[in-house]
Chains A and B, each alone.
Chain A
Amino acid sequence: MATDNVLEIKNLHTYFYTDGGVIKAVDGVDVELRRGATLGIVGESGSGKSVTSLSVMGLLTGTKGKIADGEILLDGDDIVKLTKEQQRKLRGSKISMIFQEPMTSLNPVMKIGDQVAECVLQHEKISKKEALKKAEDMLRKTGVPRVEHMMKEYPFQLSGGQRQRVMIAMALVCKPEILIADEPTTALDVTIQAQILDLMNQLKKETGTSILFITHDLGVVAEVCDDVAVMYCGRVVERGDVKTIFANPSHPYTKGLLGSIPRLGDAGKELKSIPGNVPNPKYMPKGCKFEPRCPYASEKCREEEPGFFQIEEGHISRCWLCESGQLKTDHVEKAGD
């Protein structure tokens, strides 16, 4: 296939089959990750962004979740159709992942070196000694101090930032094509956050790994991402490259998210927020899922869910306001009054 997309998610539906009924956590997600680029998936908690990443990783086993429909193409091959064993072999070698909670994501009774080397040993036919050497080299690249010592230490002896560096080393030690980062900096101090983001950017350049970056923080997106997909209620509502989205957001939800970032110079002004809450997945609105919270909602929004409208090349939005292509919201506000 002559595509430069390393990962394509097409019409993904991941449902959770609980006692209380089916919860459609991911309900029609389409995104593309360009080779060597970073795609940010942005949304509030409950928007389905984490479930999307777990679906890609094939880590839904053990939960009540199942991929109900859709394709996940890795280099053009659908990995949903693979057997569990085949999926397992991809994990850690072609796609790997780092998580939000560095404090609890490492095994407390295993030495750091062993935990990093374990991944190499599983996927490559090399001796334990060579695997440990690789682990040590990778740890050094992540900039943790006194690597030789740390190889023999246990997670409780490390700080949160150091543990996240170990997680990154573990994820990249087998040189995967894709790294999924699920809120990797949320649990860390602000200064450490910046260091970790720098490290990820630097390692991406060195290794050519593409990154799927899951976050709720648009500030982080601006710093590390090339493309953005905004998710709401299990759907992608707006997609485009990062500059376009920040310069010209067209979905009211994206605008709301951007409006709620505090900026220097805004002191004294009231901080904007999006009114209301994410709807309960059991009682989804019939039409546009954002309609109950949308300041521009009309009768049509209530009745019918919009599809994607192209605003410009590579920038699409799931909002009726964009139906005619170039609508500016100012006009609508007047029309709505």
Chain B
Amino acid sequence: MPKYILKRIVGTIPTLIIVVTFVFFFVRLIPGDPARLVAGEQATQDDVEAVREELGLNKSIPTQYVTYVTGLLKGNLGTSLRTKQPVTKEVAGRFGNTVRLAFVTLLWSSVVGVLFGVWSGTHRGKWQDYTGMTIAVSGISLPSFWIGFLLIMLFAVKLRILPTTSGTSLKSLIMPSITLGVGIAAVIARFTRSSIIEVLKEDYVRTARAKGIKEKVVIWKHVFRNSMISVVTVVGLQFGFLLGGSVVTETVFAYPGLGSLLIESVNYRDYPAIQSLILIFSLQFIVINLIVDILYAVLNPEIKLQ
């Protein structure tokens, strides 16, 4: 088990390097002169050269790369063009909010999704299945920003029981979290269902029934446990969807997280900030997938005992 975990951690290193490299070149792919962009339209040629000097853009690409990576290792993400503050500072202020929203969302949507999936899968072809899957396919088809608006219209404007925007209290998390989680719960439900159906065909399920085990126990002890091995992987992949979705959701609710920061930065053409945020989003995704891999091993004795 420790060996397996170590192997997975080492396995993410190439991906990490490529992601960092990609993000490094990202700014250099922007058409035009980055120094001019940073300095602004009205800047004189001298100013532009000064900025170039300051950002180290006059040095060779490999030197720049080394500078960038050493900076990253020291936790230096550059300076925001918009606020003239270190990006690290801005990110730090909002990171917790995004993580809180993501965590709450992943928690409820996994539970709801898995329950719906088990319910549908174990009643395959019956009305329960059709109901569950109709809700799920609608869930993956709903534009999240639309859900957000409908929720605002209903709960904030008409019923006035929830705050419209911002804040990070649990109450103000409700609407953003629903908006973000509906699609994820739906995907998890669909996947859980097909996984349950696959496992139900397995010989060991027949063995369990032949032992006279109660059907409820067959489902939750034998079928559920085995189908979760593959569902866990999908929950991990959904986290990527969740990070992307957080951009939209945070914008809809003006929620002070990393997603809305990304949009503000894009609108302001704040390239150092965009660069850092994209890096942070993919780092989160990589870390989550690592956790998922480990969870997968915990559920699967064949890997756990290697």
Contact = CB atoms under 8 A, between A and B. Distances in A.
Contacts of B225: 109-110
B208 A107 contact: yes
A270 B213 CA distance: 50
Contact of B202 (A104, A110, A154, A156): A104
Contact of A91 (B212, B221, B299): B212
B205 to A, nearest CB: 8
A21 interface: no
Interface residues of A, number: 31
Nearest to A119: B211
Nearest to A92: B212
A153 to B, nearest CB: 9
A92 B211 CA distance: 4
A122 B212 contact: yes
Given A109-B299, A154-B302, A156-B302, A91 B204 contact: no
B226 interface: yes
Interface string B207-247: 11111111101000110011001000000000000000000
Most A Cβ at <10 Å: residue of B204, B221, B305 = B204
Given A101-B203, A109-B300, A154-B305, A91 B210 contact: yes
Contacts of B305: 154, 157
A105 B204 contact: yes
Nearest to B229: A109
Contact of A105 (B207, B217, B301): B207
B212 A93 contact: yes
A154 B211 CA distance: 18
A157 B303 CA distance: 12
A154 B299 CA distance: 13
A97 B210 contact: yes
Contact of A107 (B204, B210, B229): B204
B76 to A, nearest CB: 46
A62 interface: yes
A324 to B, nearest CB: 44
B226 A96 contact: no
Nearest to A157: B305
B226 A90 contact: no
Nearest to A94: B212
Interface string A52-95: 00000101011000000000000000000000000011111100
Contacts of A59: 206, 209-210
B207 A167 contact: yes
A89 B212 contact: yes
A123 interface: yes
A88 B200 CA distance: 17
Contacts of A99: 203, 206-207, 210
15 contacts: A59-B210, A92-B213, A93-B212, A96-B211, A99-B203, A105-B206, A107-B204, A107-B226, A108-B226, A108-B300, A109-B226, A110-B225, A118-B213, A170-B207, A170-B211
Q: Which 5 A-B pairs have the closest CB atoms?
A: A92-B212, A91-B212, A92-B211, A104-B203, A154-B301
Interface of A: 57, 59, 61-62, 88-93, 96-97, 99, 101, 104-110, 118-119, 122-123, 154, 156-157, 167, 170-171
Interface of B: 200, 202-204, 206-215, 217, 221-222, 225-226, 229, 299-302, 305
Given A91-B211, A106-B204, 12 more contacts: A88-B214, A88-B215, A90-B212, A92-B212, A105-B207, A107-B204, A107-B207, A108-B302, A110-B221, A122-B211, A122-B212, A170-B207
